[in-house]
A = this chain, B = another copy of it.
Amino acid sequence: MSRPTLEKVAARAGVSRATVSRVVNGSTTVAEHIRVAVQRAVEELGYVPNQAARSLVTQRADSIALVFSEPPVRVFSDDPTFAGIIRGVSTEADAADKQVVLMLAGSSRGHERVERYTTSGHVDGVIVASMHGADPLPAALARRGIPVVCSGRPLTGSSLPYVDIDNVGGAESAVRHLLESGRRRIATIAGPPDMVAGIDRLTGYRNALRDSGRRSIIAIGDFTRDSGFEGMTQLLEDDPGLDAVFAASDMMALGALQALRRAGRRVPDDVAVIGYDDVPAAPFADPPLTTVRQPTMRMGRELARLLLHPGESSVILPTELVVRESA
């Protein structure tokens, strides 16, 4: 009834445990006819090595953790970033024959759980996908001696390897597009100032405007649709003459679109709108949303590669402006 052990296979094949182990692990120093005999025994018994026993001696787990250090709601709401990362990490891990353990570490209790789990030898390394650059988790894990890579530049001043997307460049390209299409008063609805994405996209906006000598018009949101609506409303009050807005997330852009419609402004005729993220809903917005697309899947792959091949250096990935009708 219970699963066969190495011992059982060895007995059946008439060899020692060591030899079976050699065959199972693909050692070359085994005579051909013995190898065949062992493999048949493995087959017949349906033998699968006990991973716990193996880990115990090898000190490896052959799996990596992918930790989302965010409330789960955020992770899987409308943001395609996480989905892309998951796919990328999975792809790369598969290729290296590693398993991916997905963990949600939203609560502080979650933090602790993740720390316990990853230090218990269950995984060989951890990818922390956190949007808050000041998240203490990565550093805490590193202190424990666990290999860690971060998605997004850590704000904590730690020197952990990371993969980030060129938020500054992405925002710059969006604003430049607005400038090039003749817009003169370009506002932004920025993201929260405690997130790298929020900070960097605002920097990009400022850079692009500074280069062209125009002044900035700024509202602060939190990446949600509602905050986009409010931000836009306020922006319209502050400067009724604005003719373009760059929202630091598509959800905020969608909210802005709604606020503009309510205020009777036509998009893109009166006001051009650009978002960020290229969420699935973006092409279906009214009008279809021009936005900045991020290579999220590639990000996942790079994260896994960085974890699997330590020593390679941090990576910054480029973005792509997807021009639709809103700008």
Interface presence of A55 (CB below 8 A): yes
B55 touches A52 (CB 8 A): yes
A48 touches B284 (CB 8 A): no
State how many copies of this chain the complex holds.
Answer: 2
Across the two chains, which residue of chain B brings its CB closest to A73?
B87
A76 touches B86 (CB 8 A): yes
Instruction: Compute how far the CA of A117 lies from the CA of B110 in the bound complex, rounded to whole angstroms.
Output: 25
- From the candidates B56, B75, B90, name the one contacting A72 in the complex (CB within 8 A): B90
A198 to chain B, nearest CB (A): 21
Q: Count contacts on A: residues with CB < 8 A to the other chain.
A: 52
- From the candidates B103, B104, B286, name the one contacting A284 in the complex (CB within 8 A): B286
- From the candidates B53, B119, B144, name the one contacting A56 in the complex (CB within 8 A): B53
Interface presence of A94 (CB below 8 A): yes
A87 to chain B, nearest CB (A): 5
Interface presence of A280 (CB below 8 A): yes
21 contacts between A and B (CB under 8 A): A1-B145, A3-B145, A48-B119, A52-B52, A52-B121, A53-B56, A63-B101, A63-B122, A73-B87, A76-B80, A76-B84, A94-B113, A99-B103, A100-B102, A100-B103, A280-B280, A280-B281, A281-B281, A281-B283, A284-B285, A284-B286
